Amino acid sequence: MSAAAPVSERTRVWRRFQRHRLALIGAAMIAGFIGLGACAPLLPIADPYSVDALNTLQPPFSPRHVLGTDEVGRDLLSRVIWGARISLIVSASAAVLALAAGVVLGLLAGYLAARADTLIMRTIDVVMAFPYILLALAIVSALGPGLVNAMLAIALVGIPPYARLSRATVLGLREQEFVDAARVAGATDGRVLRRHVLPNVLAPTIVMFSLDIGAKMIATSGLSFLGLGTQPPVADWGNMLASGRSYIAVAPHLATFPGLAMFLTVIGFNLLGDGLRDALDPRLR
Amino acid sequence: MLVPVLFGITVVVFLIIHITPGDPAAIMLAGSPATDADVAQLRHQLGLDQPLHVQFATWVWRALHGDLGRSLALRSPVLPEVILKIKATAVLALGALLLSVFLGILAGVVSSTKQYSLLDYLVMLLSLAGVSLPVFWLGLMLVMVFSVTLGWLPASGMHAPAGGGTGDLLKHLALPAVTLGAASIGVVARFTRSSMLEVLRQDYVRTAQAKGLSTGTINFRHALKNALIPVLTVIGVQAGYLLGGAVLTETVFAWPGLGSLILKGILARDYPLVQGAVLFVACTFVLVNLVVDVLYAYLDPRIHYQ
């Protein structure tokens, strides 16, 4: 009998993830949408901005337009595929910004002196005291409507959960022996944070991140739906829903397909996030 | 904690107008045939020509006395307008909250007592769908099915044009409340399920079983009572979420609430209106959470707040 080779933690996490069927389905769904969005310029589909006044509001399965056309005759399939591009980029960027800022603030609050901690965490408390969408709306109202401003607003109101989570993790790590050892060995605060604390903070924040992209997608699209995010004629799911709303009685497919795409993407991220959480920390099940 | 948070909220809301790139007065009057003198007058009227701390102190002082400023678009004081609209938002949010509490807890209990059954998987699937649905899309789809196709329920507004009683209000409320509540139903169901599963493994539940009590009595009288304590916190968070999330739902259904008012204010660049309404909602949100915390301590005697 040969002794089993020692298995690293990373391999174990990967194996647990591979056994998680729902997570794999989620990952496949997301990969599908990312693939479609990334390959949009290469696919044999119509130009998402090409207007055709003679073929407006065509129903799904019409000749040359599988999903039909919108109110100015643009191909809906093409717009949904191109919309994946913008919607994914905007929501992922908002989540990345929130993650980066949140982790930095959390690290600083958890590791630095008490005064910085109090200042950062009290500010976070105040931001959390607002209903999420409401504060984003207020920020967009000040900055002015637009894609970048909407993304910034959603990122800004998304910082607190990341900051709280990473601070809590750092507080636990600060007392650990390997951190003391690094400090005794002469590592500077910056080096200890970068090399020893940050890698341990990333695992829980990545789980939060994967669950968060879906929420960010709903939030940024929501702002676009209200007319405060991406502006027409840009092919973005939230934007398309907003214009589809006016035609809900005569051409329901205009609102159905972009929303369905968004719904499936968000489900994908939620399944993936649940799977990552279970794989990284089986005790949390 | 309450006072610093409320103070922080006023600072943030106050600063909204000041992070605007450019002169807020000029932006607010953009598009109208306003002269430089008009802009200067508006700047003076809003107090923007004074030092920042003076502006802030004045603004807070007035807000404490119930003066949230004058809306430029509506040409009337902000507070009465906000109070007028909060009723509609409260009706909507309360309807959604009741749905999420009732359906969420019911679904959570059912799926926890039948763990790994088909029903359990169905409830979990539906709750996943609930939290993944964009509210504005769900609203549009419900309108498409129940208003446009079936013609059962009205698609927009709060009352029939000719007016109507409670029945009419409930008919108008049905779709918006389901739309707004869908995500919360899912969240509450998930939490109730996991909290119930934990409680059902406790010794006292086994004791109750050993005494020969019926499953219904054990599930509802013994287990649910304790399982609900953590669920209550979630419900509190959801109450606040419903208040804020109402903005999108109100837009889809043309519900005449605070969300619609805030959006109107934003699109008209009516800063006093936006500031006043946001301040009002944020303070309400904080107070709702405070009530939940107090309730929490009341229901669970192990918790004490100093």
Asked if the Cβ–Cβ distance from A129 to B13 is below 8 Å, we say no
CA dist A9 and A199 (Å) reads 14
B10 and B140 in one domain? Answer: no
Which helix H or strand E contains A272, and what residues bound it?
Answer: helix A253-280
For A230-284, how does the pLDDT look when each residue is reduced to its tens digit (9 = 90+)?
888 888 999 999 999 889 888 899 999 999 999 999 999 999 988 888 888 755 4
Which of B 131-170 lie inside 8 A of A, CB atoms? 131-137, 140-141, 143-144, 148
What range defines the domain where residue B31 resides? 2-64
Q: Which of A131, A226, A249 sits opposite B148 (nearest CB)?
A: A249
- Is B70 a member of any domain? no
Give how far Cα A79 sits from Cα of A30, A41, A48, A52, A221, Å: 18, 12, 5, 14, 15
∠ CA(A135), CA(A140), CA(A142), 5° rounding?
100
Rounded distance between C-alpha atoms, residue B186 and residue B274, angstroms:
31
pLDDT at B251 over 60: yes
Residue B248 lies in a domain: yes
Per the domain annotation, does B122 fall within a domain?
Answer: yes
Beta-ladder partners of B70: B77
Q: Is pLDDT at B110 greater than 80 in this prediction?
A: yes
B50 and B85 together in one domain: no
Put simply, whether A263 touches B (Cβ < 8 Å) is: yes
Q: Is the ipTM of this complex over 0.95?
A: no
Burial grade of B237 (CB within 10 A; 0-12, 13-18, 19 or more): middle
Q: pLDDT digit string (tens) for A181-215? A: 988 888 888 888 888 888 888 888 888 898 899 99
Structure tokens at A109: 């609050």
Q: What is the pLDDT of residue A30?
A: 94
Q: B residues 229-258 near A, CB within 8 Å?
A: 240-241, 243-245, 247-248, 251-252
Sign of CA dihedral A38, A42, A43, A45: positive
Residues 6+ apart with CB under 8 A from B137: A241, A255, A259, A260, A262, A263
Q: Does residue B37 lie within any of the structural domains?
A: yes
- Residue among A80, A134, A140, A260 with most chain B CBs within 10 A, to mutate: A134
Rounded CA Rg of chain B = 24
Name every residue whose Cβ is closer than 8 Å to that of residue B29 and which is 6 or more positions away in sequence.
B38, B39, B42
Q: What is the pLDDT of residue A202?
A: 85
B216 within domain boundaries: yes
From A135's Cα to the closest Cα of chain B, the distance in A is: 8
Give the model confidence (pLDDT) of A115-150 as tens digits: 888 889 889 988 888 888 888 988 888 888 899 999
Euclidean distance between CA atoms B114 and B105, whole angstroms:
14
Q: Choosing among A141, A152, A246, A285, which should be mutated to test the B contact, i.e. which has the most B CBs within 10 A? A: A141
**Which residues on B lie below 8 Å from A143 (Cβ)?**
19-21
Q: Are residues B129 and B203 in the same domain?
A: yes
Q: Which of B64, B89, B115 is the C-terminal boundary of a domain? A: B64
Same domain, B126 and B246: yes
Whether residue B118 sits in one domain with residue B184: yes
Q: Domain tally for chain B?
A: 2
Does B22 touch chain A if contact means CB atoms closer than 8 Å?
no
In which residue are the tokens 């699109």 written?
Answer: B267
**Nearby residues of B73 by Cβ (< 8 Å), 6 or more positions away:** B264, B265, B268, B270, B273
Q: Which of B85, B136, B269 to mutate to test binding with chain A, by most A CBs within 10 Å of its CB?
A: B136
Q: A126 at the B interface (CB within 8 A)?
A: yes
Judge if pTM exceeds 0.90.
no
Residues of A in contact with B247 (CB under 8 A): 133-134, 137, 226
